[in-house]
Amino acid sequence: MMRLYNTLTRSEEPFAPATHNAVRMYTCGLTVYARGHIGNFRTFVCTDVLRRTLKYLLGYDVKQVMNFTDVDDRTIAGAEKAGMDLRAYTDQYIAMFREDAQALGLEPVEEMPRATDEPNLAAMAKMISMLDRNGHTYRSDDSIYFKISTLPSYGRLARLDHEGMKPGARVDTDSYAKEDARDFVLWKGHRDGEPFWEYPALGITAGRPGWHLECSAMAQRLLGDTIDIHAGGVDLIFPHHENEIAQSEGATGKPFSRFWVHVEYLIVDEQKMSKSLGNTYTIPDVMAKGFRPSAVRLLLLSAHYRKQLNFTWDSLAAHEESLRRLTDFLARLDTVAGDGSHDAVQSRVDDARRAFAAAMQDDLNTAAALGAIFELVRALNSSIDAGDVGAGDVPVIRQAFDEFDRVLGVISLRRAEDARPPVPVDEIERLIEDRQAARRRRDFAAADRIRQELAARGVLLEDSAGGTRWKRK
RNA sequence: GGCGCCGUCGCCAAGAGGUAAGGCAGAGGUCUGCAAAACCUCCACCCCCGGUUCAAAUCCGGGCGGCGCCUCCA
């Protein structure tokens, strides 16, 4: 059974879904007022690996919801500034998210709801009316607030004591009128020029949803009252997730999420990467510097998800190299010539599979899992050199790597990139032919020239006994 | 003022009582027309000081240093 750290209890706990074999998982997605940066994507890559571990390693069915926040102060301000309709404005960033998600090999999740989709707004309105009925709300200045004092368990996730945040704590200076500074808004009263919705039958006058409400409502609508895992970045623990719990549990009286999983920050130059600090890099930024998304994915998985990871260009370059080691090894399997199969190889592969699975089940220890893979690579490279690997072993080895990669999703990603080299494949193949002819007539100057020209265009050639292979730089 | 995390080789990073995985970089070697790849060898008393223990990178106490949350934020 997998062990997973639960922020709610601040400890690792054995994880299994509450019902049957199906995991219901919600991930807080992106607010679509700008292109997501690789810090945002750290969370999404980690939750993707969690999802894949649950699915492919543990055999659960996974139903995952990841939302887009497409109505809030920033999206509204951005749309206004751009002179665009809110929906059209946020569409752009959703499209970019999808591009980047694909580039990083994120497996599509089952649902990607937007806050402003009508069924979601209706669900939010319904949730407010449930909170009304349970006495958790009040109205002020056309807005609707959640009254924290009505919910004694408030602050349990973030471990905040109700009185604790006094001197030095910055107080929310929201211009909406609240009875208590710590109360939060469920529904913001309509202001000129802003989009609004209303549900008079439920006593909800013109306005728009507060940020926290959408996640509670959409999670409930699409996954049910109690879900198995709720995930997001550590920065969401407070106030976002705390408030989600207040809303959902205040409305239903049932526990909202059994596990809370939080991914630590990606930092850059020893500071958190965030849009407000202006130190962000996006996938296009990374590609413009000549790096590939697969290397970003590997970098993001190179450290445990609950530890801060300091992003540097040097470490991205290092991961480009280590990924190359992996793909070089897999390419080498094609050249294995010997016959038969070997027990020693099989058991070495089994050891690695066990180590990999154990690491992933140990609170998603991707760094240790990668260690197991690289140890296997060296052992098998060594065995190949010694002639101790036969053609009969190759499928077993490939199967193991397929298994690793279904979970980590990095090798297949790199292979997809490799399949689109900067020089057309038929041209590469023709040049290899030309070069082989030159080598046969021992015209090494001509052969080297061809290799250098291709290298300058981003394609490397490697000679071996079995022939010449090419790869992307 | 309150709460929390972290400090392991030049860089990245596992390990969480039994004597330091892995990747990148580096040095020497084998192989090769050359190059690349690959392999072999080399490359760490785990921030400091105390304590507990037969045994501590791992536990406890105290320092020092870094980061984060309590405000919008993945």
Task: Assign residue A181 the CATH number of its domain.
Answer: 3.40.50.620
For A448 and B31, how far is CA from C1' in angstroms? 20
Q: What residue ranges in A234-280 does DSSP mark as E strands?
A: 257-263, 266-268, 271-272
Q: What is residue A389's predicted lDDT score, i.e. its pLDDT?
A: 95
Q: Which of A384, A403, A418 is the last residue of a domain?
A: A418
Q: Looking at the domain assignment, is residue A271 inside a domain?
A: no
Selection from A63, A40, A119 nearest residue A300 by Cα: A40
What is the domain range of residue A431?
Answer: 425-472
Instruction: Judge if A187 and A327 occupy the same domain.
Output: no
User: Which residue type occupies A365?
Assistant: N
Block mean pLDDT (10 aa), chain A, length 473: 92 92 96 94 97 98 97 94 96 97 98 97 97 94 92 87 46 57 90 94 95 96 97 93 95 96 88 78 94 96 94 93 96 89 95 97 96 97 94 96 98 94 95 96 95 95 91 92
CA of A363 to C1' of B5 (A): 17
State how far the Cα of A71 lies from the Cα of A49, in Å rounded to an integer.
28
How far is it, in rounded angstroms, from Cα A371 to Cα A375?
A: 6
Residues A406 and A438 both lie in one domain: no
A105/B59 CA-to-C1' distance in Å:
41
- Say how far apart CA A290 and CA A280 lie, in whole Å: 17
How far is it, in rounded angstroms, from Cα A186 to Cα A128? 7
Residues A308 and A398 placed together within one structural domain of the fold: yes
Paired tokens of A74? 């920033």
SS3 A80: helix
Å from the A402 CA to the B23 C1' = 20
Q: Does at least one atom of strand B sit less than 7 Å from the CB of A459? A: no
The pLDDT score that the predictor gives to residue A277 is: 74
Sign of CA dihedral A117, A68, A262, A301: positive
Does A311 lie in the same domain as A257?
no
- Of A254, A246, A263, A262, the residue nearest A227 (C-alpha): A254
Whole-angstrom distance, CA of residue A116 vs CA of residue A109: 19
Residue A88 lies in a domain: yes
Residue A399 sits in a domain whose CATH number is 1.10.730.10
Question: Helix, strand or coil for residue A465?
Answer: coil
Residues 38-77 of A with CB under 7 A from strand B: 39-40, 42-43, 69, 72, 74
Contact A311, A38 (CB under 8 A): yes
Q: For chain A, how many structural domains are there in total?
A: 3
Confidence at residue A274, expressed as pLDDT on a 0 to 100 scale: 78
| ipTM passes above 0.90 | yes
Do A49 and A149 belong to one domain?
yes
Q: Provide the pLDDT for residue A127.
A: 97
Name the residues in A89-148 having a C-beta closer than 7 Å to nucleic acid strand B: none
Collect all residues with Cβ–Cβ distance below 8 Å to A321 and sequence separation of at least 6. none
Q: Which of residues 245-274 of A touch strand B (CB under 7 A)?
A: 263-267, 270-274
Tell me, yes or no, whether A321 lies in a domain: yes
pLDDT given for residue A338 in this prediction: 82
Measure A35 CA to B25 C1' (Å).
Answer: 33
Nearest by Cα to A92 from A157, A10, A34, A178? A34
Of A194, A188, A198, A183, the closest CA to residue A125 belongs to A198
